[in-house]
Structure 1
Amino acid sequence: MQARILTLLAAAYALAVPQIFADAAADESWKKVEAAMKSIKQPETRPKSREEAVEMLKKGLAEYDAAAKAFSEKAPTDARRWEAKYFELEISRARDFVGQKDAPSADKLADEILNAPDASAEMKANATGMKLVNRVQNLDESPGGETAWAKDAEAYLKANPQSKFAPMFEQKLKSITALAGIKDKPLDLKFTAVDGREIDLSKMRGKVVLIDFWAVWCGPCVAEMPNVLKAYEKLHPKGFEIVGISLDQDKAKLEAFVKDKGMAWPQYFDGKGWKNDISTKYGINSIPAMWLVDKKGMVVSTNARGKLEELVEKYLAAE
């Protein structure tokens, strides 16, 4: 009997040892994946230019791809692979930024997670949230897009009230409510600009107008300004105008920035920051917010960022 027990123990040990080593190898490989993720999310040094940012990101993505591939080969059924897949979903725009156009689409990555039998409920909820985040970028381009998105976002929040996306979706729903009907009639906007000019949007009929909600202290706004200036210089002679709505509190800094950058268009300023009268009226909760108004005074886009020149040319050509 004792001999048989020893034999069984030896057999069990023989079966367990390879698995122990396999698990240890997978854990060590996963550490490299986590390190690569961290290097992308929290780089040790900040890039000093766009070019440097692209190169740093390319290097980080290459290290991540190599680590993720090695982990997948060592542990093809390890549930942590869905954490890696979700990270790929999070950085899908970063791949676009560095020109990796052959990468899987965000929706495809999300669907892989949602269809995975061994992905956790939390991971699937996050994937659904990311799909909703990505849809926000194209609400202007689909008829009824805002209504459909709001319905899906409300259902998501009901099912996932503690989701990390909840604050963002709640703010967007408030914005959609505040903007309800804004595209049904010409936009009414009148004010005295910081330089004394009297602005009345109704007197700009026949022009295509960008309403740019921004601030000097807003990094993404400042980063976007070269594109805005480029579009203005190219298309202003053809009938393109810009009206700035500044969420600054320091008038001197605003005036100095506008002068330094050569921003010839008028600026609304009331010194109230996020409580700015105009931005509050329209539920603006993040900047830059770039609205485009057509020749008839109708708001045709509330998300012109990243495609400004293309949209302006489109509406300048329209009758």
Structure 2
Amino acid sequence: MKARHLLCLGVTTFVLAVTSSMRAADGDAEWQKVNEIVEGVKNPKEKPKTREEAIGMLKKGITEFDAAYAAALKAGPSNAARWDAALFEAMTGRVREVAGIPAPAKPAISLDDIVKAADAKAETKSQASLVSVMESAEAAEAPGGDLAAWTAKAEKHLKDFPDEKMNQMVEGKLKSIKASADLKTKPLELKFTAVDGREVDVSKLQGKVVLVDFWATWCGPCVAELPNVIKAYKELHAKGFEIVGISLDQDKAELEGFVKEKGMEWPQYFDGKGWQNEIASKYGIQSIPAMWLLNKKGMVVSTDARGHLEEAVTKLLAE
């Protein structure tokens, strides 16, 4: 019995030693460092006090991640931790733009690789699929893009990963693309009672150029764009330019006070539902400001009039 016990103990010790050696060889230490850096970027111990400080922290974190990720891939190319790191890398695109750090020309591991990986966590695969769907939407919506293929991809994601927490993003984009397709076939139908009691029916504005402005008082970019909107309205309203506001605010008094203070004379739709605003939801609006321009026939000819509003309106008025 004693000999058998010693033999078992010897085998166990040998197995543990081999396992430990395999783990070390598979780069556990390097991947742990990657994980610590990722956590530091996501949840910094000290919150930045200024935008400049925040950008500096992001730049430092992403730079450290890139170096650690490359080292970990070299030390442990088959370690399952690689899938989470690859997902993080794929999700840093906008952050890299802000921090001024170029993205790799070709990722070592693609989002599709993560989705197909047998040893990736279900949550990681789900998130990778979501990111892949949303990233490909922009190309699909561009001139010459394949919306049918993107729609099939999006629907497959929803079927394969029905429990993904952020699926409302995909569902909203599907709704937005369908709504955009419908907008190209007939004049916009939009009727409501404005917050000040005015009755609005966009179909009765045909013959004029109309801006449908999805915005909110709490939206920084919306407020930043407002001077340009007011300027265009003052200069072109007499020539046939109208604006219809769709407010995603939740506080009616705050909206009314803001509109009065800024001298915004056009009607505003308000239902107090924020991002669940009924008109915005109907058309799949996921970010604001969303500025739609209607030509004199009531057709939506642009869903991105921000930054060149006056020029675009002047051109449409001349048609």
TM-score, normalising length: structure 2? 0.71
Query: Any stretches of 5+ residues in structure 1 without a counterpart?
Result: none
CA distance in 1 between counterparts of 2:268 and 2:179 reads: 20
Query: Any stretches of 5+ residues in structure 2 without a counterpart?
Result: none
Q: Percent identity?
A: 38
Cα deviation 1:186-225 (Å, max 9, x = unaligned) = 213344544566655453745362x2333345xxxx1222
Is the 8 Å Cα contact of residues 294 and 315 (structure 1) preserved in structure 2?
A: no
What amino acid maps onto 1:308 in structure 2?
Answer: R
What amino acid maps onto 2:290 in structure 1?
Answer: M
State the aligned residue count: 302
Residue of structure 2 in register with 1:207 after alignment: 209
> Offset at 1:174?
4.5
Equivalent runs, 1:57-206 vs 2, <5 Å: 57-104=58-105, 109-111=110-112, 113=114, 123-124=124-125, 126-142=127-143, 145-176=146-177, 181-191=182-192, 193-195=194-196, 199=200, 201=202, 202-203=204-205, 205=207
> Offset at 1:132?
0.8
CA gap 1:115/1:286 in 2 versus in 1, 3 angstroms: closer
Residue of structure 2 in register with 1:309 after alignment: 307
> Offset at 1:86?
1.2
Q: Is 1:229–2:226 an aligned residue pair?
A: yes
Equivalent runs, 1:288-299 vs 2, <5 Å: 288=288, 290-296=290-296, 297-299=298-300
CA RMSD of aligned residues (A): 4.3
Is the 8 Å Cα contact of residues 190 and 200 (structure 1) preserved in structure 2?
A: yes
> Offset at 1:162?
2.9
CA distance in 1 between counterparts of 2:256 and 2:107 reads: 41
CA gap 1:301/1:44 in 2 versus in 1, 3 angstroms: farther
Cα deviation 1:268-300 (Å, max 9, x = unaligned) = 2444425645335x2546442614224243223
Identify which range, 226-235 or 155-164, moves more after superposition. 226-235
CA distance in 2 between counterparts of 1:16 and 1:107 reads: 29
What amino acid maps onto 1:232 in structure 2?
Answer: V
Residue of structure 2 in register with 1:19 after alignment: 21
Is the 8 Å Cα contact of residues 92 and 105 (structure 1) preserved in structure 2?
A: no
Is the 8 Å Cα contact of residues 212 and 242 (structure 1) preserved in structure 2?
A: yes
CA distance in 2 between counterparts of 1:288 and 1:176 reads: 16
Identify which range, 176-185 or 63-72, moves more after superposition. 176-185
> Offset at 1:39?
2.3
Cα deviation 1:72-109 (Å, max 9, x = unaligned) = 34323323223211111111221123233454478984
What amino acid maps onto 1:92 in structure 2?
Answer: G
